[in-house]
Amino acid sequence: MLTSLQNPLVKQIKKLHQTKERQQQQLFLLEGTHLLEAAVTVDRPLAILCYTIAWQTKHAALSEQAHQLAARVELVSTDVLRSIATTVEPDGVVAIIERTSTPEPTFSSLGLVLETIQDPGNLGTMIRTAAAAGAEGLLLSADSVDFDHPKVLRSSAGQWFKLPMGMNADLQSALQPYQQQGMQIIAAVPTAPLTYWQVDLRQPTLILLGNEGAGLSPALTALADKQVTIPLNPGVESLNVAIAAALILYEAKRQRRADNS
């Protein structure tokens, strides 16, 4: 059992709390039973599996499945587990996964495109919402928070492993082929003339949302076929970007369901 906080492996894992280290080591953290279950469901290989004896006793079946996917397994003390996790009260298991390059998602019906998203909780929530609403995937600008930030994974509630996701340094170039193929691009802009429910979202659609403070860049806004807004009562400056994504995605879902009924 690993009990020393000075153990080289423990120190290596703790470094993964930092974006720079995740990029250098090409590894990231997977914390908690729920996320581990999601990884096991898709047979995602684990570089390292760390767990406490109490966790193994409680989750014997999951532990056995995770063992089969793990290149290295370590039984650790509660103190060590707490030190390598980013959460205040971890539930007894932390896995380390290799970063792998994945192809960008391909869209034909409904997709979410995000520019310069900085808050990991927002991104994780939008991943979860996009999966729940039936989006085909999510495309993110390269200047956004990393997909494998620990809080992104936790906020996605396991959907991180199910929703196709990609990152692109030039969203404008990435979106133009879809536009040429007939997909409409809808930009959420505070000053738009149309509300989001006034647009026909039954047709193939890409939804653009921008940075939490600055919104969409002028270049992406200009690329959009239509601009929509979410009307707010006087005195309310804006909505959280994850809430905005949920409203528009579910309006698309509502329109499509009504069209099929």
165-168 and 194-195 beta bridge pairing: unpaired
> E strands along the chain, which residues?
27-31, 48-51, 73-75, 93-98, 110-114, 138-141, 165-168, 184-188, 194-195, 205-209, 226-229
Half-sphere exposure (CA, 13 Å, Cβ side) for 48? Answer: 18
What pLDDT shows up at residue 261? 61
Distance CA(72)–CA(74), nearest Å, equals 7
Task: State the pLDDT at residue 217.
Answer: 95
Q: What confidence tens digit (pLDDT) does each residue in 143-185 have?
A: 999 999 999 999 998 899 999 999 999 999 999 999 999 999 9
User: Mean pLDDT throughout 237-261?
Assistant: 89
Q: Which pLDDT score is estimated for 101?
A: 76
Taking only the tens place, the pLDDT of each residue in 30-63 is 999 999 999 999 999 999 999 999 999 999 999 9
Q: Other CB atoms closer than 10 Å to residue 32's CB: what's the count?
A: 22
pLDDT at 260: 73
Instruction: Tell me what pLDDT residue 246 has.
Output: 97
How far is the C-alpha of 26 from the C-alpha of 41, rounded, in Å?
22
Average pLDDT, the chain: 94
Domains of the chain in sequence order:
8-98 (3.30.1330.30), 110-260 (3.40.1280.10)
Q: Is residue 156 left, alpha or beta, with left meaning phi > 0 and alpha meaning psi from -120 to 50?
A: alpha
Q: Which of 24, 30, 61 is nearest to 44 (CA)?
A: 30
What backbone torsions phi and psi does residue 171 show, to the nearest 5 degrees?
-65, -35
Q: Which amino acid is at 182?
A: G
